[in-house]
Amino acid sequence: MSVGIVKGFPSTSGDDYQLNIITFLKCAANTYPEVEVISRNIDGSIFRYNYYEAFQRVKKLANALVKLGVKPGDRVGIAEWNTHRFFELYFAISGIGAVALELNPRIAGIDRAYVINHAEAKFIFVAETLLPIIEPIADDLNTVQSYVVITDKKSRDLKTDLAPVKSYEDILEQEPDSYDFPMIDETSAFAACYTSGTTGKPKGVFVSHRAMYLHTIMISGMSKMGLDDVVMQTVPMFHAQGWGVFLCAPLVGAKLVFSGMYTAETTHVLVDLMVSEKVTVNNGAPAIYMPMLEQIRSMPEKPVFPNLRMFSGATEPPLAMMKGYDELGGNIIHAYGATETTPLVTVNLLKAQMADLSEDEKWELRKKQGLPVTGIEMKVVDAEGKDIPHDGETVGELLIKGPWITTTYYNDSRSADSFTDGYWKSGDAATIDKNGYIKISDRFKDLVKSGGEWISSIDLENSIMAHKCVLEATVAGLPHPKWEERPLALVKLKEKYIGKVTKQDILNFISPNFAKWQLPMRLFL
C-alpha cells in the first residue's frame, strides 16, 4: 500500500524553474549551433540546416501559431512523416503551451476523426502527401477551425478542399525570428498520442512536459548518447512521440537525421542514410529492421557500423536478426514500452555479474525485454493481484508506474479498468527471472491456451524465424474441440528457398525448443 507523499525540510533549489521541452532546442542552439540536422525530402533529396537555424524557424513558427489563434492548452493535430518540420512543430506548439496531437495515418479514417474530435483539436497541420487522409473526414471534424498544409508551395498554389487553409512556409515567411517563450507549468501536456484502437475506440494519452523531459534524459543516459553520435529517427514521430529518440539529440548535442517517408518495402532509403550520414543511434521495430538487414545482405560491399546502437521494440527481436547486425558492428538493444509509458520502461543490458555466461546464454538473455530503467516501478501479478515467483517461468500480468507512466486516459470511462493503485495494467503476460529480467510472453489476448496451458505465439514465431530460410512467421490460436486452442503457423520463406524447404523441416528445426503439445498443429508455407 502506498504511504503517500511525505513533505520534508524545504530545499533551496530552484524548483519553480519548470521542466519545459523547448529548453532542449534553446540550449542546443546556444551551445551546439553548428551541429547538423538533416531531413530526407519526399523526392529523396536531403535538406540540411543546424540547431541554430532550426531554433530560428521554431521562433518564427511560434509567432505564426499565435497569429493563427493557437492558445495555451489548445490541441493542434499533426499528420506528417519524419521530417524537420515535424521536429519544428513539436517544439513550437509545446513551447507556447499548446499540445501536439499526433495523428496516425495508418488507422482507419473513422478512428482518426474520433481522435481529432475527442481531443477537440482546433487546428490541423497536414503534409501535402497526407491530404487524402484528412480531406475525406473534414466534414466530420467538429472543432477544427483551420488547416495548414506542410509543403514548399505557396498558399495560392495549394489544391485541396480544406478551408480555411494556408501553406507552412508561407506562415513562417511572414514572421520575425524572435519569440520569448513563456515558462509552461511542467505538468501541462506536451503532446497527445492515442492508442491504435485495437480494443474499441482509441484511448488518449496526454504526456506532460515533465514526463517527456525526464524520459528524454533517461533514454540518453541508457544509450550513452553524446556529442560524437549521429541519431536517426526511424520510428514514426506520430507514434508515441517517435519513442522520444529525436529529442535526445539536441539534449546531448548530437547530429540528427530525419528519415522522411518510407515503407517496409523501401527500407533501402534507411540503409542509404545510415551509410551516408554515419548513423550511430537508431530506433525501430523488427518489422523494419529485418528488411533493412536483408537489403544490407544484398549489397555487394557490406557496410560496417562501428558503435551502432539500435533500439528495438514493438515485438521481441529474432535472434537471427540480432546476430546479423552484430556481424556488421550493430548492437540491437531490446527495449519495451507502450503508448501509455511514453514509452521507455525496460532496457536489456547485461549485468556485470552475468559476464561469465556462455555466448549462447547471453544471446538468449538478450531476447528478453530486460531490466526496468531507474524511476520505473514494475511488478508481475497473478489473477488475484499477488506477486508471482521470480522463477522465469510463472506467468502473470505486468503492472507499471513511474514519473512518465500515464495514470488515466483522457476523458475515458475505460480508465477504471486499466489502472490500479497508481499502476497501469499493461495486459502483457510476463515472467520475471531471479536476476530481475522481464520477458513478455505475449499479450494475454494473443496467448494460445491449449489444454489449460499457455503457449507463447511470440516464442514460436521467433523460433521459426531463426531458421536461415525463413523471412517472416506469425502464429495464432485456432479453436479446437478438445484442447480449446492449438497453434497455427503461417511462414514466409526467403525467395531463394521457396520450394526447397518443407513444413516438416521447419517443425524439426523448432522441436528441440518446445514440448510436442506446444508445436503448431498446422503450418502453412
Of 340, 341, 379, 424, the catalytic one is: 340
Task: For the chain, give the mean pLDDT.
Answer: 93
Q: Percent of the chain scored above 90 by pLDDT? A: 78
Domain annotation for the chain: domains and CATH numbers: 22-344 (3.40.50.12780), 448-525 (3.30.300.30)
- As a whole number of angstroms, the distance between CA 446 and CA 450 comes to 12
Q: The dihedral of CA 196, 199, 203, 205: what is its sign?
A: negative
Condensed to tens digits (0 to 9), the pLDDT of residues 113-142 reads 999 999 999 999 999 999 999 999 999 999
pLDDT digits (tens, 9 = 90+) for 53-80: 999 999 999 999 999 999 999 999 999 9
Residue 332 to residue 324: CA distance in whole angstroms: 10
Which of 166, 394, 454, 483 is flagged as catalytic?
454
- Among 83, 151, 195, 342, which one carries the catalytic annotation? 195
Look at 170-179, 198-207, 298-307, 433-442 and tell me which has the smallest mean pLDDT.
198-207
What's the confidence (pLDDT) of residue 99?
98
Q: What is the pLDDT of residue 129?
A: 97
Tell me whether residue 195 is one of the annotated catalytic residues: yes
| Helix, strand and coil in the chain, % to nearest 5 | 35, 25, 40
pTM recorded for the entire structure: 0.87
| Residue 51 confidence (pLDDT) | 98
Say which residue the cell 521554431 belongs to: 58
Average pLDDT in the 104-114 region? 91
Q: Percentage of the chain with pLDDT > 70?
A: 96
**So what's the pLDDT on residue 491?**
92
SS3 of 219-265: HHHHCCCCCCCEEEECCCCCCHHHHHHHHHHHHHCCEEEECECCCCC
Report which residue type is found at 301: E
What is the pLDDT at residue 200?
A: 77
- The residue to which cell 495494467 is assigned: 425
67 is a catalytic site residue: no
CA–CA separation, 25 and 140 (whole Å): 36
Does pLDDT of 36 surpass 90?
Answer: yes
Query: Per residue in 174-219, pLDDT tens?
Result: 999 999 999 999 999 999 999 875 557 999 999 999 999 999 999 9
Catalytic, out of 201, 278, 449, 503: 449
Measured from the Cβ of residue 327, the count of other Cβ atoms closer than 10 Å reads 12
Identify the weakest region by mean pLDDT among 314-323, 466-475, 476-485. Answer: 476-485
For 30, what's the count of Cα atoms within 13 Å in the CB-facing half-sphere? 7
Measured in whole angstroms, the distance separating CA 366 from the mean position of its chain's CA atoms is 19
The residue count of the chain comes to 525
Tell me what pLDDT residue 484 has: 67
Q: Using DSSP bridges, classify how beta strands 330-336 and 346-347 pair: parallel, antiparallel or unpaired.
A: antiparallel
Strand, helix or coil for residue 312: strand
**Is the CB of residue 186 less than 8 Å from the CB of residue 20?**
yes
Q: Name, in order, each residue with C-beta under 8 angstroms of 435's C-beta and a sequence gap of 6 or more.
A: 351, 354
Rounded to an integer, the average pLDDT of 323-335 is: 95
229, 93 in Cβ contact below 8 A? no
Sign of the torsion angle spanned by Cα atoms 57, 60, 64, 66: positive
Name residue 78's beta-bridge partners.
Answer: 102, 125
Cell numbers 504526456: residue: 207
Residue 413 burial class via C-beta count within 10 angstroms: exposed 0-12, middle 13-18, buried 19 and up:
exposed
The question of whether 449 is a catalytic residue gets the answer yes
Compute how many other C-beta atoms are within 10 angstroms of the C-beta atom of residue 357. Answer: 14
Backbone φ and ψ for 363, nearest 5 degrees, come out as -65, -40
Average pLDDT over residues 38-49: 96
For residues 441 and 369, give the distance between their C-alpha atoms in angstroms, rounded to a whole number.
Answer: 10
pLDDT above 90 for 16: yes
pLDDT band at 465 (very low <50, low <70, confident <90, very high): confident
- Which cell goes with 261? 517517408
Has 81 been annotated as catalytic? no
User: What is the rounded CA–CA span in Å between residue 178 and residue 60?
Assistant: 7
How confident is residue 511, by pLDDT bands cut at 50, 70 and 90? confident
